[in-house]
Chains A and B, each alone.
Chain A
Amino acid sequence: MKMKSIHTEINDKTHSKRMAPVVLGICLMICGVFGTGCKKLLDIDPPINKTAATTVFSSTAFATEAMTGIYVQMIKSFAGTSTSMSVKLGYTADEMTVVRTSGIDLRSYRNQYTTDPGVWTSLYLVIYRVNAIIDGVKASAGIPEKAKSVLIGEAKFIRAFCYFHLVNEYGDAPLITTSDYSKNINVPRTAKDLVYAQMVQDLQDAQNRLTDDYLGLDLVAPTVEKIRPNKFAATALLARVYLYTGQWAKAETEATKVIDNGKYSLLTDLNGVFLKNSNEAIWQLQPNPLDPTTANTPEGYFLIPLDGGTPPLKASANLLAAMETGDKRRDNWLSDITGDGVTLIPFKYKLGPFQLDQQEYIMVLRLAEQYLIRAEARAQLDKVTGAGSAETDVDAIRTRAGLAGTTAGNKTEMLAEIAKQRFAELFTEWGDRWNDLKRTNKINDVMTLACPKKGGVWDPNKALFPIPPNEFLYNPALRGHQNPGYQEK
């Protein structure tokens, strides 16, 4: 044992010297494996339920799925059941009276909002995603030019659609045209005119890129489904943009392109207008056909009660007043569903909850509006009566509604008639009445009377919605620029 101990010690010493390179070697090996080869070791599997953006923009099919996803999201955000822009902006204005409070935002109904009752956030989330598609498609090497063009056209059309609603509900709005977050977190409000100019540019670009036909998922073959925007959708929206910006001649020209191309016609049967792919539809959104509750439109789901139930909303006195005696729209687009003779509910969509057979799509753009746009443009251009005048366009609408020709004889009367027809024709469609009242500076006159009937007191500041408070928190450039009458909190 003693000898062994000495031996061990000697070994220890010699080992220490001999071991030095071994130790160094092991250290180097560790460093080699974990040091230089280390980047490889950090390669991980991609998530199984997600696709990297770079992959998405490597093929037309993938990129089209992404663009199509935006239409689905638009339904979720802007055409949901109780949060639908058509319903909510309808009762925020003077289109409807509340019957049953559940599902109704009473602060909006009474024009008492102190925070955003609208869709600022949803609109910008869609804008971010169309920008991401524009950026992604532009940079893509795998998508053919033609498909690229269509995708960018659709994206720009949607961008213009979102900005149209932003400037109308909020006024000046930050103009965002890139998906790079670092550029978008510090953006001030852009003057309304400049935003409109961007809309015009986007829509003109969309007109150039999109085809006359409605396209299928391959972005090549035509289809009867009008659920992707085509050139005329861009044109129709452009006509509206020109109308809203007072560019009457351009509005007339663009509206004429839609009316005269022969693809669309006013249906004489009012009950057929809102069916899917109706001849009057310029662009529709397809509700989820697999949803067992709302396979048809979410608005129908919300507005039409189940048997024996109480509807949430009925036509307001103002809306009924816009419909003359004998107006077929009163009989076909309103319904006395409870049979009490007074509760006339909006009935453009006729299929309520649990209607599994998909027959109706969400109408976004339709021909009747183009007639009314052109009528107003012509009236403003002093083409009030006669051939190619406001009168012919208004009468096209009146006739379809079962009414005699208009008696309006001068510009003022004609504009009043057009406003009335817009109300009667376009109620519960994307806040058209609400925007019209503002555009034509009638909002204070109308709402001062209408608001108390809803249980509120009209404040002219309420014509614009407040920007949501988080926007001021997260975007310092907005601070100090809330709409008048609201807090930035």
Chain B
Amino acid sequence: MDIEKNRAIYLLINPKLYKSMKLNAFNSGVPRLRLPIKILLIMKLIVIIIIASLVQVSAATFGQQITLSKDKITLKALFKEITKQTGYEVIYANKTLDDQQTLHVSFKKAPLNQVLDASLKGLQVTYVMDEKGIVIKEKVASLLDRIKNFLAAKDINGIVEDESGNPLPGASIRVKNSDQSTAADADGKFYLKNVADNAVLVISYLGYTTREVNVGLNLIRFRLEKSSSKLDEVQIEAYSRSSKRVSVNDITTVKAIDFEKQPIDNPLKALQGRIPGLIITPTSGMPGSAITLQLRGQNSLAGPLTQPLIVLDGVPITNNIQGGQVISLEDANISSLAFINPADIESIDVLKDADATSIYGSKGANGVILITTKKGKAGESRINVSSYTGYSQRVKEIAMMNTQQYLSMRRDAYIADGLEVPTDPHNDYEFTVWDQNRNTDWQKTLLNKNAFYTKNDASISGGTTLLQYLVSGNYSKQTYAFDGPGKFETAGAHFSIAGSSSNKKFKAVLSGTYSANNNVAAVDPTTTAVAMLPNAPALYNANGDLNWEPGPDGYATWTNPLARLANETYQKSTTFYSSLNLSYKIIPSLTFETTAGITSIKLHDFNDLTIASQDPAKIAIASGYSIFTDNSSGSWSLEPKLIYNHAIGRGVLNVIVGASLDERNQLNQRIEATGYNNDALLHSLASASAYGAGNEAVQYRSEGVYARATYNWDDKYLLSLNGRRDGSSRFGIGNQFGNFASAGIGWVFTNEEFVKKALPFVSFGKLRFSAGTSGNDAIGDYQAVGYYQTLQGNAGGLGAPITYQGIKTIYSSGPFNPDFHWETVYKMEVGFDLGFFNDRIVLNGNYFRNRSSDQLSLINLPATAGGGTITVNLPAKIQNMGGDLSINTVNIKSKNFTWSTSGNISFQRNKLLSLPTENYQSNFPGYQYYVSRHESPVGKAFTDVAAVYGFRGVDPATGVYMFTGYDGSATTFDQANPYGALVSTNPKYYGGLGNTFNYKNVSLTIFLQFMKRNGLNYIYQGFSPLPPGYAASTSDNVNQPVAFTNYWKKPGDITPIQRVSSQGYYIDQETGNFYDLVGSQAAAANSTALYTDASFIRVKSATLSYSIPDSWKRKIGVRNLTFSISAENLWTITGYKGADPETQSIYSLQPLRSVTAGFNIGL
């Protein structure tokens, strides 16, 4: 039986009840006191009896009687009832008394003074009654009281538990306003000696609402409720756990509940718009494609490798890894996190400030993303099954010309050049061979499919207090939004086993994730779909075969875009991540812990060119090729540490001393086999007639030792200190080690009495400050040594081998710098965490400033020094600053309806504080712009800017694009200043806004993402920017944007697009001036015209779910049953004209819109 719940008091006025309750109280085990204490107790009892009688004497007795019986009543309500029944007002100050505490009352004609005595028992108050009312006052400790307190001092034994009775080991128990404190042991038990009888215990545990309990209540079980406040959400930080309430760090946490119903295929996508300061950009809408991350801007003048560190269950992993030759992805990289099932993830924490990241030393400079997988919990077995199915499709089409527009432009181009429109059917097929009236919207034709999506998860978890387990499996499949056998299929398993010795001193947690992915990829046809001429031939012949539209010589006049379906492209990969955590509690305050992790990704990739996919007319001379790629990457890490946790003074000191060791390996091998004359043998290397091959391997090691100390004084003053020494194999001998340190302080001002008095509506308030250094070794491997490499046929390392004088030769990879060293970033941050109205509104704000003066950068060398790039520490001072604000509110909270909102907005700006030495200045992207204007770039933005031609429109006289010249006037591109203008693509601000509505069992979540920034204008982006009407070659032309129809036609025309030409140039007959229109278009593609507003507000996801009511659950015997329907990328408000304002690419598949529906059942 629950003897106590939030200070429930059994008032034993009714004698019958008194008896039964007393029995109950003994039965339920009031602390069995120790022998010397018993004597004390007797003395105490005597004193209490005397004093009680004194108090009763002092109070006037009135005859009013009260009758009331209630299970749960607040003091406030009880006082109201007293007023109602007796007419006496009960007067008290709020600070004297917490009138919200609940009591269990049962009065039957009880006298008023007895009622008051009973209900105020244990509180540090006294009361006075007169004719007007009852005044409750703070009890002033009299000499007698003090003696009484001394005599009343006792020892307390207790257990701290959660709502369902599980122990909360490590919970902190503190005696209010004293230095006495302790922590619960592995079974949740604690012991405190000589606690004053009237003392108040403050019991707290991470993630739970802190409780204050009167010692006088003689309790042994202290139950803590899970906090619903955002401030108490558990956050994973470096090697430990914390919450916003007690941490000095700037950490943003995303929990499984935030994204578990979203149909995302990569856990990183769950972070989009949710993490202040983090910009996440997928490179394409194809599954598995690389994702770039940038946290709080770039801390380097020329460093593209500034990605945050990602740690999965304590094991560092690499996000974008080299894929195979799968040409379906825009770049060769794939995101390894696509192989991690989002359903296996418990939480993702993003660490940003110096103090949070500095303990990661080398790798933490650009922030840290900690991913924690789900673990089993003690209790009965829980089974969870979910299944989601849906479709996705293309959102937007790029406006390209139709046949009539295209042919008329091309004809105009010949006319403008004074040439005949071609008639030779060996060339210019759009005029000579193909149907002049056929019009195909290739984007509609080739990107026509609804991509199918299904994802199924099942898990079982449970365990005892000594052993917990979780096992889950998943299978998901996506198909592509275009023709072909393409599919992206993943099957995976995740497990976690946690066990401890019976004395709970030794603990082990083993978790692992395995997934097998089969990516039968088709080539992303986006480029083809956009570029294909609108009157290109039909896909199929009348007899249903692929149409090759032969020309007069019998050879194909085009490459049928479906011919690729005869080729085979697949990528099979297996991923394994595992971590083992062992800990041993040497003494209660000291634990030795080791985390060991391994990761392994093996990827096999095959793609071929079959003879069947080639022009049938050339089949006699056609041959096939195949490319075999095997990439494997693996790593291991080891992190031993000692953790010391001890209550000192009014707080807890936590010290961690540890070391880390990490090795990563990557091995890539490729074989290109050519000259196959039989499609059936394309998988056989022996059947090829020639080979090209290449391989490369990279190894990286890092190590570090660190110490971290945190101290929390009375939940009021927080301090954190970090130090780390790091070594990395990427540096040359003598430069391998670097030292980093940081400090953070926090002040919970709402725990100060004067603040409590002054700002009663502020339920929580904390100011934070942190400063420190973190390092960066995010450069390529093997940069500090000069190397020679075998010369091969082409840059990719494949192709025909080269021999000279009968041997293969080697070639220097160019100059190198053996002397670069660690980059150090100096970070500073101030922030606040505020809660209002019992944390109904939680506000977090941060301002950061990062400065760096020796950023590791690749700098360009002049050809005279050997060309290429070398790695140096750039001696420029740069600053990256910004801020963000997050808000979480519970707008409406009633019995049936809740509405909560969470939102964030961030911005960042950077500037150059001082220029590097002259040789390295050119690496500053805006350098040429400032130099050509004789201005200093100091104080100006240094990243996300580009110095480009200043676009000045089309010259109405010549019809040629004009650009800003050196003197500021408009001129042709060859006379213009190529750095005449500066554009910025730095987002002005960005963020997200989520709203969740719950009505009874229905829940609706709508999440918006927004960003204000400049992006690429698809009109000028071009394939290879070609002027209107110009064909790159006479047999392989590309379509042009419909905007190009508005080209210049005659002098005086004011148009946005320059004149047409079939030759790509124009010679003015009068002046003899030569105008290079191809060059002019290329300049436009590198001018201010290339940039356009790419701001957007996107309904990133919307989820509607319904859980069956509890009564039904019991009836059908399930713990939970939820149905949901969810949409991703639902709707975008943007002025951007291209396919997608986020990826801004015309070459790759845009992010798709998807709708999924499914259910989740828990048993």
Task: Tell me the minimal C-beta distance from A305 to chain B in angstroms.
Answer: 14
B590 touches A181 (CB 8 A): no
- Among B622-680, those with CB < 8 Å from A are 640, 642, 644, 657-659, 661, 667
Task: Tell me the minimal C-beta distance from A401 to chain B in angstroms.
Answer: 32
Query: CA of A107 to CA of B817 in the docked complex: distance in angstroms?
Result: 38
Binds B, one of A36-44, A339-347, A377-385: A36-44
Query: CA of A38 to CA of B699 in the docked complex: distance in angstroms?
Result: 16
B1033 interface neighbour in A19, A102, A106, A123, Cβ under 8 Å:
A102
B727 touches A26 (CB 8 A): no
A176 interface neighbour in B640, B864, B1067, Cβ under 8 Å:
B864
A187 touches B979 (CB 8 A): no
In the complex, chain B residues whose CB is within 8 Å of the CB of A216: 805
B807 touches A217 (CB 8 A): yes
In the complex, chain B residues whose CB is within 8 Å of the CB of A47: 696-698, 781-782, 787
A68 touches B862 (CB 8 A): no
- Asked, given contacts A30-B705, A35-B705, A121-B863, whether A129 binds B1072 with beta carbons under 8 Å apart, the answer is no
Q: Which residue of A lies closest to B976 (CB)?
A: A489
Binds A, one of B100-108, B396-404, B467-475, B795-803: B795-803
Interface size class of B (residues with CB under 8 A): 35 or more
A124 touches B864 (CB 8 A): yes
Task: Tell me the minimal C-beta distance from A258 to chain B in angstroms.
Answer: 23
B800 interface neighbour in A129, A174, A227, A291, Cβ under 8 Å:
A291
A474 interface neighbour in B667, B703, B861, Cβ under 8 Å:
B861
A42 interface neighbour in B736, B804, B1065, B1079, Cβ under 8 Å:
B736
A288 touches B800 (CB 8 A): yes
B919 touches A185 (CB 8 A): yes
User: CB-defined interface of B1069-1096 with A at 8 Å, one 1/0 digit per residue?
Assistant: 0001010100100000000000000000
Q: Which residue of A lies closest to B811 (CB)?
A: A69
Task: Tell me the minimal C-beta distance from B31 to chain A in angstroms.
Answer: 8
Task: Tell me the minimal C-beta distance from B727 to chain A in angstroms.
Answer: 5
B586 touches A22 (CB 8 A): yes
In the complex, chain B residues whose CB is within 8 Å of the CB of A19: 586-587, 590
B810 touches A65 (CB 8 A): yes
Binds A, one of B50-58, B865-873, B1050-1058: B865-873
Task: Tell me the minimal C-beta distance from B98 to chain A in angstroms.
Answer: 30
In the complex, chain A residues whose CB is within 8 Å of the CB of B816: 181
Q: Which residue of B lies closest to A31 (CB)?
A: B705
A128 interface neighbour in B590, B697, B814, Cβ under 8 Å:
B814
- Asked, given contacts A181-B861, A187-B864, whether A288 binds B815 with beta carbons under 8 Å apart, the answer is no
Does B695 belong to the interface (CB within 8 Å)? yes
Query: CA of A8 to CA of B592 in the docked complex: distance in angstroms?
Result: 19
Does A428 belong to the interface (CB within 8 Å)? no
A71 touches B191 (CB 8 A): no
In the complex, chain A residues whose CB is within 8 Å of the CB of B863: 120-121, 123-125, 468, 470-471
User: CB-defined interface of B847-882 with A at 8 Å, one 1/0 digit per residue?
Assistant: 000000000000011111111001000000000000
B697 touches A52 (CB 8 A): no
A68 touches B807 (CB 8 A): yes
B860 interface neighbour in A27, A120, A179, A474, Cβ under 8 Å:
A474
B809 touches A72 (CB 8 A): yes
B867 touches A125 (CB 8 A): yes
A53 interface neighbour in B193, B786, B1074, Cβ under 8 Å:
B786
- Among B696-711, those with CB < 8 Å from A are 696-705
B932 touches A489 (CB 8 A): yes
A38 touches B703 (CB 8 A): yes
Task: Tell me the minimal C-beta distance from A154 to chain B in angstroms.
Answer: 12
B32 touches A291 (CB 8 A): no
Binds B, one of A9-17, A238-246, A248-256, A415-423: A9-17
Query: CA of A147 to CA of B32 in the docked complex: distance in angstroms?
Result: 96
User: CB-defined interface of B721-743 with A at 8 Å, one 1/0 digit per residue?
Assistant: 00001011100000011000000
A225 touches B805 (CB 8 A): yes
Task: Tell me the minimal C-beta distance from A274 to chain B in angstroms.
Answer: 19
In the complex, chain A residues whose CB is within 8 Å of the CB of B801: 290
In the complex, chain A residues whose CB is within 8 Å of the CB of B919: 185-186, 474-476
Q: Which residue of B lies closest to A468 (CB)?
A: B863
In the complex, chain A residues whose CB is within 8 Å of the CB of B1074: 110, 112, 455-456
Query: CA of A50 to CA of B185 in the docked complex: distance in angstroms?
Result: 57
Q: Which residue of A lies closest to B587 (CB)?
A: A15
Q: Which residue of B lies closest to A6 (CB)?
A: B191
User: CB-defined interface of B152-172 with A at 8 Å, one 1/0 digit per residue?
Assistant: 000001000000000000000
Does A73 belong to the interface (CB within 8 Å)? yes
In the complex, chain B residues whose CB is within 8 Å of the CB of A15: 586-587, 590
Does B2 belong to the interface (CB within 8 Å)? no
Does B544 belong to the interface (CB within 8 Å)? no
- Asked, given contacts A27-B657, A50-B813, A181-B870, whether A45 binds B697 with beta carbons under 8 Å apart, the answer is yes
Does B922 belong to the interface (CB within 8 Å)? yes
Query: CA of A128 to CA of B816 in the docked complex: distance in angstroms?
Result: 12
Does A292 belong to the interface (CB within 8 Å)? yes
B802 interface neighbour in A26, A27, A102, A288, Cβ under 8 Å:
A288
User: CB-defined interface of A68-98 with B at 8 Å, one 1/0 digit per residue?
Assistant: 1111110000000000000000000000000
Query: CA of A65 to CA of B803 in the docked complex: distance in angstroms?
Result: 10
The number of inter-chain residue pairs (CB within 8 angstroms) is 269
Task: Tell me the minimal C-beta distance from A447 to chain B in angstroms.
Answer: 16
- Asked, given contacts A47-B698, A125-B867, A290-B801, whether A42 binds B703 with beta carbons under 8 Å apart, the answer is yes
B587 touches A227 (CB 8 A): no
- Among A145-172, those with CB < 8 Å from B are none
Query: CA of A474 to CA of B863 in the docked complex: distance in angstroms?
Result: 9
In the complex, chain A residues whose CB is within 8 Å of the CB of B861: 181, 184-185, 474
Does B977 belong to the interface (CB within 8 Å)? yes
Most chain A beta-carbon contacts within 10 A, residue among B157, B788, B919: B788
Does B978 belong to the interface (CB within 8 Å)? yes
Task: Tell me the minimal C-beta distance from A429 to chain B in angstroms.
Answer: 21
Query: CA of A359 to CA of B157 in the docked complex: distance in angstroms?
Result: 99
B697 touches A69 (CB 8 A): no
B727 touches A41 (CB 8 A): yes
In the complex, chain B residues whose CB is within 8 Å of the CB of A440: none
In the complex, chain B residues whose CB is within 8 Å of the CB of A26: 592, 642, 657
In the complex, chain B residues whose CB is within 8 Å of the CB of A22: 586
A23 touches B788 (CB 8 A): no
Does A449 belong to the interface (CB within 8 Å)? no
B1067 touches A53 (CB 8 A): no
Does B387 belong to the interface (CB within 8 Å)? no
- Among B788-837, those with CB < 8 Å from A are 788-791, 793, 797, 800-817
Q: Which residue of A lies closest to B553 (CB)?
A: A308
- Among A282-304, those with CB < 8 Å from B are 286, 288-292
B793 touches A128 (CB 8 A): no
- Asked, given contacts A2-B32, A69-B809, A69-B811, whether A474 binds B791 with beta carbons under 8 Å apart, the answer is no
Does A444 belong to the interface (CB within 8 Å)? no
Most chain A beta-carbon contacts within 10 A, residue among B590, B698, B862, B864: B864
User: CB-defined interface of A37-68 with B at 8 Å, one 1/0 digit per residue?
Assistant: 01101111111111111001000001001101
In the complex, chain B residues whose CB is within 8 Å of the CB of A129: 811-812, 866
Does A33 belong to the interface (CB within 8 Å)? yes
- Asked, given contacts A114-B974, A217-B806, whether A42 binds B865 with beta carbons under 8 Å apart, the answer is no
Cβ-closest 5 pairs across A and B: A128-B866, A184-B865, A69-B809, A473-B922, A124-B863
Q: Taking beta carbons and an 8 Å cutoff, which residues of B are in contact with A?
A: 32, 34, 157, 185, 189, 191, 193, 586-590, 592, 640, 642, 644, 657-659, 661, 667, 690, 694-705, 725, 727-729, 736-737, 781-782, 785-791, 793, 797, 800-817, 860-867, 870, 918-919, 922, 927-928, 932, 966, 974, 977-979, 1033, 1063, 1065, 1067, 1072, 1074, 1076, 1079
Q: Taking beta carbons and an 8 Å cutoff, which residues of A are in contact with B?
A: 1-2, 5-6, 8-9, 11-12, 15-16, 19, 22-23, 26-27, 30-31, 33-35, 38-39, 41-53, 56, 62, 65-66, 68-73, 101-102, 106-107, 110, 112, 114, 120-121, 123-125, 127-129, 132, 174, 176, 179, 181, 184-187, 216-217, 225, 227-228, 286, 288-292, 455-457, 468-471, 473-476, 478, 487, 489
